[in-house]
Structure formats: C-alpha cells, structure tokens
Chains A and B, each alone.
Chain A
C-alpha cells in the first residue's frame, strides 16, 4: 500500500526538482497525446523545445521568445505575490485587457501630438487601468466577503466585451474604412506612443525591461522586506499574520492591486508594441498562462523569469508545431495545461513523502 506521510520539514530537493520532473512528465504525456493524434512525438517535442532555440529559424524565433516571455513574466510576478498571501487573482487576463484599453485610450486621445511625455503617461494609465479592474474583486472581497476567484474570473469576460466595444466603437480607427481595430501604434504612424523593439532582433521592448526589473524588485521584496514577509506569513499562517499585526483587508487590496497593475502594464506594452493596436482578438491568454508560469516558477520571482521563458518556448514552438506539423492549437493548449497539472501533482512530494507499507506490517 502507498501512503503519504507529512515531512517534518519541506524537502528542498523536491522544491527545486518539482518543475523539472513536471516538464519531463508533460513531455511524456504530451508525447502520448501527439502520438494518438498521429504525429511522431519526438518530432513534435523537438519542434516545441528545440527548434525555437537552435533550429533553422532560431534567429527570428529567439526574439519571439522574449516577446512572449515578457508579458508572461510581468503578469506572473504580480500574481505570485497574491498567491503567496493566499489571495487568488484568476482574472489577470481581464486586467491585462483593461490596462491595454486605458493605456491605448490615453495615447489615442492625444493623437497626433508628439511629446516624450506621452509614453510615460500611457504606462501610468495602463497600470491604473489594470489596478482599477483588480480593485473590483478586492473591494467586494473585503467589504462583502465575496470570493475573489469567481469575481476576478467573471470580470475577464466583462473586459472582453469592453474590448470588443472598444475596437468596434469608441477606440475604432476613424480612418480605418469601418474595419474594427484602433489606430496603429507602430513607429511610423504614432512614434510618441509606440513601444518599439529596443535592440533590433532581440525581441526586447519596454515590457521585457519592466518584466526583468519587476522580477528583481519582487525578489528583494520577498527576501528582504517586511512587507514580503507579511505576504508569506499571511499565506502560510493567517492567524499568526494577524498576531504579527497584518490587517488581512489591507493585504488583499495591496496584492490584488499590485497584480492588477502589473497585468495592466503588460497589456499596455503589448498593445503599443507587438500587437500594435487594439483589436477584438487582442488578448491571447497571457493572463491565464501566467498562472501556470507563476506556479512553474515556484512563486519565486527568479523562478518565474525562468518559467516565463519555458512557457514562451511552448508558445513559440507550439505555433511552429501547429503550422509545420498541422497539429491543432487545442492540443498545444492541452500540453500547456498538462504542465500545471503535473506540477501541482508532483508538488505533493515537497511536503509529503511516499511510504510503502506491506499489508499487516506497520
């Protein structure tokens, strides 16, 4: 018989081994899935994990990695702070959309003014938009004790509706011949509001810079600052946190607000950079994938930076597999979902060990 036994101290080995084992298990189970779809598993796995880095088109795809990893990392960093404190913001996708709409909206309102101040103001507006959207579940939770998981998730669909309205209505390009979508933020059409690639071919734009900076800042916050200590304490032992002097309501507002602001920033950088404009299908699920990234990175900022790149790999490589090998994109999403599944499953080993007991013997 197999039996789970609680470890006296969480295992450091499994803490770090878990993501690796989870990735390997995902490759195996994903390989099975691809085999059932009639593809050669080895080819698919190679296309996803190897080709973007070292394949024929790696010169282009490597840049794409950073483009995808930036928003994932930025959002996941914010989410991880809340997750550490036991506050579950599942609606980063909605905050990402609202950040993009607010950031883009401020820029578009000033079109065609050219000023170096425009972009910073847009950054601020993007952060505020995401923050405000996250404040809705936060305040409902602190005032009426609603469940922030449900409220934040539901608000994603509200945000998507607003996005559709924005791209077909209030933010639509007046010179776009009636097509949905806003004016373009690309360098030539609106330089003051664009978020260009900073080093040609690197894929690095201001969003990536922010993501890496936030990773470092969050690391310092969690390791060295009393606020980071309070966040961890509230998540691990809520009563001890109150005894320490943490006000739970304040922490909810802070963590939801922070994760909302970072998601909003990610949306704003995306709309002005890689996406280039507000469109109906502007959001591609970064807000949800970031949840996986946060856990894959062990809710540790440095781990999240690493996990962001691995997840970006499955995005870029997944697209490759979809176009080159004709794999349905849903299969790639299942593949990404498996990663979280195995991660949480293997994670049990951090706090528990498996004991085998023979029948009749204790």
Chain B
C-alpha cells in the first residue's frame, strides 16, 4: 500500500532532566492513514505528539508536514497548518452549551446561529449525533468527546491526533467513533491514534509504530500482526525471564495479611485486603500502573502509615503498629519513590541524609548523641561502594543528579544489613548503567538472605529481578505467582482492566 507521505518525523529527540523522553524517533504517516502509536506508560508517546501539536519543542530532529518543514511553536500554529488534537482529558466548560464551547476554541468564531448549523451539519455527516444547544454539563463522556472531535473537524484537519480516545467510551460509542474515523480516513484525513489497547488497534489502524523507553522498537501492520507480537514489542524482548537462581527459599521474613488502609494522601488509593509473604532470598516484584496504591503500600510497609499490629509481620514479629524507626530496628528498610523530599532531605548534606535512615541499624547515635565521624564514614562508604558521583559527602542532596542520588539512597538502605528491603521505583529516571548497578545490588542482598519487595512500573525490570510477580490494581494485590514460566498472556490477565495489555489474553482464549 503506497500513500503520499503527509507527516515525516525524522530523528526526533527530547530530554527532560534525568530522562530521555524521545530518542531518535523516526516514522512517517501517509495521507488518510490511520497510524497507531503504541507503547506502555512512559514510553514517550505523549511527548512525541505534544511536539507535533506545538506544545513541546524537540531538542533534535525535524518534522516535515505536507512536504514542508514543520516546527510549530504553539498549538495555534499547528492548527493553522492542519493538525488537530483530541486530548484524553477534555477542556470544556460545563456551564456553556455545545456551540459556545466550540466557539471558544476557534480563532474567529462565526455568528452563533451559523456555527450551530455547521455543527449540526458536521455531526450528521460523520454520524456523531450532537445537539449544539445542549449544555455540556448534561452530556456523557462519549458525547463530550464528540464535542472535542467536532471542534477539530470544523478546522478541516489533515491530521487528527487522538490520545487514548476509547478509555472513556462504552463499547457502542467505540463502534460509532471507529465508523467516524474510518470515514475521515477514506476522505483523506490521516489519524494518529495513541493507545495501548491492542485489539482496537488491530481492527482500526493501517500501520503502527511501537515505542519503548523513548525509542522506536518496531513497526508493523496491525492487521497482519497478533496482539501478542505487538505486546512483546511494547514490553521488550526480555519477556523470557533470565535464569532464576535455583536456591532453596529460606523462612518467611515479611508477611502481610489482609492489609487494608485508607490513604493518607489526598485523592490517594485505599489499600484493600493485601496479602503476601516474602521469604529470605526471594524478590517479590509488584507491577501496576501508577496511582494504584504503590505509594500507600510503601508507606504501610515503611511504617509511616500504621495499621493493626498483626497485619504486618517482620521476622515473625507483629509490626503493623510500629513506626519507621522501630521497623528498621526489626530489620526492615524502605526506599520511597520520591527522592527529593521523601527519601532524602534535599537541602541537607549526604552525611545528614545518611543519618536519616542509617542512625538505628548502623549505631550512629549513642544515648541520642550523634557520632558524626561514624556517620560521615557510613556516607563515604555508600558513596564509594555504589559509585556515587559527588565532590564529597558534605554536598547537599539536591546538588546530585537524579541517578546519582538514587544510587546513594538505595545504597544507604542496602548497606544496613537489612533482612527485609522494600523499594518503590528503584530505577525511575536513572540512566541504564546506574539502573543495572542498582538492580545487581538488590539481587546481591537477596542472595545474602534478605527478602525483597520491589514495586515498579517497569515490567522489564520486574521480570529481570523478581522471583515472584504480583500486580497492584486499584489498591488490590493479585496473588503472587512465580516469574518462572510466566507468560505475557498471564501478565496481561493479572493486570486486568486497568492496563492496556488485558487484551493479550483474548488471543489465547
């Protein structure tokens, strides 16, 4: 199938501090093509489309749109060139009616009566029933999306970007939307369709580009590719887990039984009936999309969030009602996700930050008085052992780069001869080399007999280091299963409706 090229993306790169959102991304979209952009959360899809829509400027690379160089500096410029976008989150005023909302998004809105007539015409033409006089506040999510789509269609776009459009729709509404999109496509409007719902993409899209960690890892024709193959591309080739150590498991060091707790974080997720055990030498990997209770689970395990004493057992001892200090004494160390302000005090020196969690297990205080010499020794030991790049231990934590600080913070916990280690997002925003070092250090501690819980959104990472695998979903934890022999289909099944790979199991079913 040969189409005239509409948009050519060539070597686009974009970095944010500590993370490469896009790296040398190239692909092109033909006129009238429905092109899918596939990838897990954080793969760089949103950054890429924001660059096409003029919200973000690329660091490197060029865009060519309709044969001309294209570098929109703001969305109105992109719109003028013929690019329209429907966001995942709508920007509509509930107290205004449909026509008024549409008018607000236009540079030079026509008189209201004329606009209402045009809205009616477009909505009939594309089979998107919508009454221009209705209040947006009374509309369903699907109808609101139609307002956004019609707002775009009135600009007569050449390229329509849709960010996860079906996440708010009922199956019937999806049918209607797809019909509309196919009609647009047949009329020559290209559609860049962002999703991680594979089955949808197979029915709708002509081509697909798959992103992983900011890079293009593959492209395919979805109709000729199975959902499973696409999922493997999305998640990475390391779906076959590495050889597991065959060593016999020790006794259970961390037991969590029916742990439920309301979130102390505003709009947080309530933990519901979480149960698992971790044995000596075992690594439990907990996957899940962000905001499904990861932060709360860490708080409950670290002791910042207290629960009934028998809900959590460390080394057989009831510890649910213990605070962070007492849990450290009992043998549990924890590393929260947020480095600046939670795991570390940004304005304090590395020495002081070493004291922050090391005071108890490293005996850095005597009758409450701080042994600064020993504390400095501990900080310097961590800096040396974990190759933390810093001018010295006197430097404020915030002066270190994200990856270096993370190495220091993980090292600080691992060098306390812990019996239980709980880490949330061990390698988030950390470069590949440092990430590998951190994972190896965690595995080393496990080999020495510590029980480890790693909470992460990086499936690759979990499959690489975990022995057992579970998924946190809306505050509930699935039953942990051995990673060995775990297939991508089963992972998809565990992730349930909350993650895009749920369709992977349809292939098997």
B335's closest neighbor in chain A, by CB?
A: A243
What secondary structure prevails in chain B residues at the interface with A? Answer: mixed
Task: Tell me the complex Cα distance, A244–B248, Å.
Answer: 34
Report whether B323 and A8 are in contact in the complex, using a CB–CB cutoff of 8 Å: no
Segment at the A interface, from B29-37, B57-65, B351-359, B496-504: B351-359
**Which A231-257 residues sit within 8 Å CB-CB of chain B?**
232-233, 236-237, 239-245, 247
Shortest Cβ distance from residue A322 to the other chain B in the assembled complex, whole angstroms: 42
CB < 8 Å neighbour of B359 from A9, A226, A240, A247 = A226
Contacts of A143 in B (CB 8 A): none
Pairwise interchain contact A229-B352, C-beta atoms closer than 8 A: yes
| B303 interfacial by beta-carbon distance below 8 Å | yes
In the A-B complex, list the 5 residue pairs whose CB atoms are closest, starting with the nearest. Answer: A245-B325, A237-B345, A245-B324, A239-B342, A240-B345
For B334, B336, B345, B372, the residue with the greatest tally of chain A CB atoms inside 10 Å of its CB is B345
Using known A-B contacts A226-B359, A229-B355, determine if residue A10 contacts B347 with beta carbons closer than 8 Å: yes
**Is the C-beta of B16 less than 8 angstroms from some C-beta in chain A?**
no
Q: Is B476 located at the chain interface by the 8 A CB criterion?
A: no
The reply on A362 being an interface residue by CB < 8 A is: no
> With A and B bound together, what is the CA distance between A245 and B365 in angstroms?
15
Task: Please determine whether A244 and B356 come into contact, CB atoms closer than 8 angstroms.
Answer: yes
> Which residue of the partner chain, among B343, B346, B369, B396, contacts A243 with CB atoms under 8 Å?
B343
- Assess whether A116 is interfacial by the CB under 8 Å rule: no
Q: For A353, what are the chain B residues with a Cβ–Cβ distance below 8 Å?
A: none
Cβ–Cβ contact A237 & B341, under 8 A:
yes
Partner-B contacts on A (CB < 8 A):
8-10, 224-227, 229, 232-233, 236-237, 239-245, 247
B370 within 8 A of A: yes
B contact residues vs A (CB 8 Å cutoff): 302-304, 323-326, 328, 334, 336, 338, 341-348, 352, 355-357, 359, 365, 368-370, 372, 395-396, 398-399
B357 touches A236 (CB 8 A): no
Inter-chain CA distance A242–B299, complex, in Å, is 10
**A237 / chain B contacts, CB cutoff of 8 Å:** 341-342, 344-348
Task: Select from chain B the residue with minimum beta-carbon distance to A233.
Answer: B345
**Measured between alpha carbons, how far is A226 from B356 in the docked complex, in Å?**
10
> What are 30 sample pairs from A and B whose C-beta atoms fall under 8 A apart?
A8-B398, A9-B396, A9-B399, A10-B347, A10-B396, A225-B368, A225-B369, A226-B359, A226-B365, A226-B370, A227-B368, A229-B355, A229-B370, A232-B348, A233-B356, A237-B342, A237-B344, A237-B346, A240-B342, A240-B343, A241-B345, A243-B302, A243-B304, A243-B324, A243-B336, A243-B357, A244-B325, A245-B303, A245-B325, A245-B328
- Cβ–Cβ < 8 Å partners of A9 in chain B: 395-396, 399
Which residues of the other chain, A, contact B302 by a CB distance below 8 angstroms? Answer: 243
Q: How far, in whole Å, are A231 and B346 apart by their CA atoms in the complex? A: 15
How far does the alpha carbon of A229 sit from the alpha carbon of B370 in the complex, in Å? Answer: 9
**Residue of A with least CB distance to B329:** A245
